[in-house]
Amino acid sequence: MQIYYLNLDHRTDRRTFIERELRLCGLEGERVAAVVPADLDPKLLEAQSRRPSGQALAATELACTMSHRKAWQRMLDRGLPHSLILEDDVRLSHLLPRFLGEVPKALGPRNIVRIETRLIRGKTGRTTSRIGEIELRPLLSAHWGTAGYIITADCARRILDHPGFFDMAMDHLFFDPAGPLFSEVDTLQCFPALCITGALLASGKPEVLWKSDSEPERRERFDSAKEAYPNRIRKLLREVKRLQQIVPRYYGMAAGFFSGDTSWRTAGFAGKDDTP
């Protein structure tokens, strides 16, 4: 399976890191030069500037989205049926090569297979396939991160020109039921996961390598959204959000208990937890 990894030109440290990870797995990846804000279409930036405070995506978030689209387009231009897309700060599992060799037979036309974990719980359906030690389960609740996933060409074609593509950050688009593309794709989650962002395995070991170029602006947008509402409205929104989290959780747990169709679980990482 073709592997593309996204990497900013100035992040040579991360390029060295991800190429080492691939090499240790006996794999090769093709670099896709990540988009920077200066590359963005001014019309796209202008459209975002007209959105309410806290909703407009930061330029770095838009650049991240465009970087992923760039990788998809390369896949489509080459007539590939599917590809693995990686961000350049992920640790990879030794189980990944076998998985990539066997997973194509389990893919449907609208599939995104999330091989990443953020070590948080998510609601999932029954196992649809088993590939060696890896289970594939439908992802039914919100989850974050686009650091590692397989996307099919049919799925990419379906969503590339979706009018809601720039409404939310990339991970919210696909992995949040409130996202405009959640229902457009069939997302499967690996259990255990086959990649994890290095920062999650580097507790107590701060490194420049894990520093995100987009996180400061994304955090600023979140803070702007908080400041946009009076305290009472903000408190009401917090309560609504809390109920949104609690109700589906207990509904999902009950449904899983009685039917066995759903369950809440955390995908562990099928690899070593040491940092390089």
Specify the CATH number for the domain of residue 20.
Answer: 3.90.550
pLDDT value of residue 203: 60
Query: Residue 18: is its pLDDT beyond 50?
Result: yes
pLDDT band with cut points at 50, 70 and 90 for residue 123: very high
Query: Residue 196: is its pLDDT beyond 90?
Result: yes
pLDDT value of residue 272: 67
pLDDT value of residue 256: 44
**Of 99-113, 128-142, 259-273, minimum mean pLDDT range:** 259-273
When comparing pLDDT for 253 and 231, which is higher?
231
Q: Contact, 176 vs 167, CB < 8 A? A: no
Residue 272 inside a domain? The answer is no
Q: What is the mean pLDDT of residues 40-45?
A: 94
Residue 218 inside a domain? The answer is yes
Q: What is the mean pLDDT of residues 145-154?
A: 96
In sequence order, the β-bridge partners of residue 117 are 196
Query: Residue 275: is its pLDDT beyond 80?
Result: no
Angle at 268 between CA 2 and CA 193, to 5 degrees: 10
pLDDT band with cut points at 50, 70 and 90 for residue 271: confident
Residue 208 inside a domain? The answer is yes
Residue 275 inside a domain? The answer is no
Average pLDDT, the chain: 83
Residue 257 inside a domain? The answer is yes
The residue assigned the tokens 């999330």 is 114
**Residue 3: helix, strand or coil by DSSP?**
strand
Residue 256 inside a domain? The answer is yes
Residue 274 inside a domain? The answer is no
pLDDT value of residue 241: 47
- What total of structural domains would you count in the chain? 1
Within 13 Å and on the Cβ side, how many CA atoms surround 233?
A: 6
pLDDT value of residue 233: 56
When comparing pLDDT for 144 and 234, which is higher?
144
Residue 51 and residue 70: Cα distance in Å, rounded? 25
pLDDT value of residue 222: 42
Q: What is the mean pLDDT of residues 162-170?
A: 88
Query: Residue 259: is its pLDDT beyond 50?
Result: no
Instruction: Show the domain range for 13.
Output: 2-266
CA 101 to each of CA 3, 85, 94, 96, 132: distance values in angstroms, whole numbers, following the listed order: 12, 15, 13, 9, 11
pLDDT band with cut points at 50, 70 and 90 for residue 208: low
**Of 77-81, 155-159, 211-215, minimum mean pLDDT range:** 211-215
Residue 183 inside a domain? The answer is yes
pLDDT band with cut points at 50, 70 and 90 for residue 260: low
